[in-house]
Amino acid sequence: MKKEYEQIENLTKSYTGYSLEKQEITTLFQTDVKSKLLDTSQRKELLNHLNTLLQDTGFEKSETLLVDIQTLQNKRVDVQDFRIGEALAEVVLENNFKCRFYWNELRDARNPKGNKTGADLVGFIEINDTVLFLFGEVKTSSEQASPPQVMTNPDGMEKQLLNLYQDQNKRLFLISYIQNKLNLNNNTNFKSDFEAAKNQYYTNNVCNYILYGILVRDTKADENDLKSSYEKLNNEVLENAGLNLLALYVPIPKNEWLKIINEEGNEIN
């Protein structure tokens, strides 16, 4: 990634814009992003269970079983563009900014093309060996204007991040959501991060959690995409919360992303 612009107030208050090279984003789309959109680990686990059933006496003629196995073996992704933007945002945060998301939120969807509730990003971030809760929103836009309306409209990122800051009950719901997932995951790092972030959240320190907003664009880099939104939010979000805005500029038109993800010969195992 190439840094196009940056404004840093301190470790927990900043905005930054990065552009990605074509080969770089193509590789991410066909590996980490695709794996996240398919929820590869969960898919493999279920496929193994169904293949075991297929080998058991009495299941070999089940049409439903055969169809579901075939569906799980199909590595083709079929999602809306904004889902790709959300997956890319998580991958970039995980790979570059010491952020961790232990639970694929697509597992909670009742409808594979339905919307999430609460927040797009719910996880952890490590800053100077301190683990904090990360609550955030992701927006994807091809609009030529800067900033795009997804940042400034009544339901845009500015409003959503401010709501996360002002609504303590909403954050409590998100913390409870993470805690509920601990019982479904044997990852000791997940449990360790949760305990550390929880203790930090309920301690009267300067920064108790981080708000993260990520804008994914298939346009040229422009600091105006983030500058005014950051200034508005920074006047509202006080020292008990961090505020990081990040723009990712993808050199491939949004309407080609899904095609690249599904290119034959690039299937993940």
Tokens 């997932």 appear where? Answer: 181
Res. 266: pLDDT tops 60: no
pLDDT per position as a tens digit, 80-113: 889 999 999 999 999 999 999 998 777 666 555 5
Global pTM reads 0.87
pLDDT, the chain, mean:
88
* More confident: 51 or 36: 36
What does the pLDDT average to over 180-188? 84
Q: How far is CA 236 from the centre of its chain?
A: 24
Give the contacts of 65 (CB within 8 A, at least 6 positions apart): 50, 53, 54, 59
How far is 240 from 168, CA to CA, in rounded Å? 12
Lowest mean pLDDT among 5-9, 43-47, 177-181, 254-258: 43-47
Give the contacts of 130 (CB within 8 A, at least 6 positions apart): 196, 200
How far is 217 from 86, CA to CA, in rounded Å? 12
DSSP state of 226: T
Domain ranges of the chain: 2-261
* More confident: 170 or 103: 170
How far is 29 from 260, CA to CA, in rounded Å? 7
* More confident: 238 or 160: 160
Q: What is the pLDDT of residue 206?
A: 72
Buried b (16+ CB within 10 A) or exposed e, 201-232: beeeeebbbbbbbbbbbbbebbbebbbebbee
Res. 47: pLDDT tops 70: no
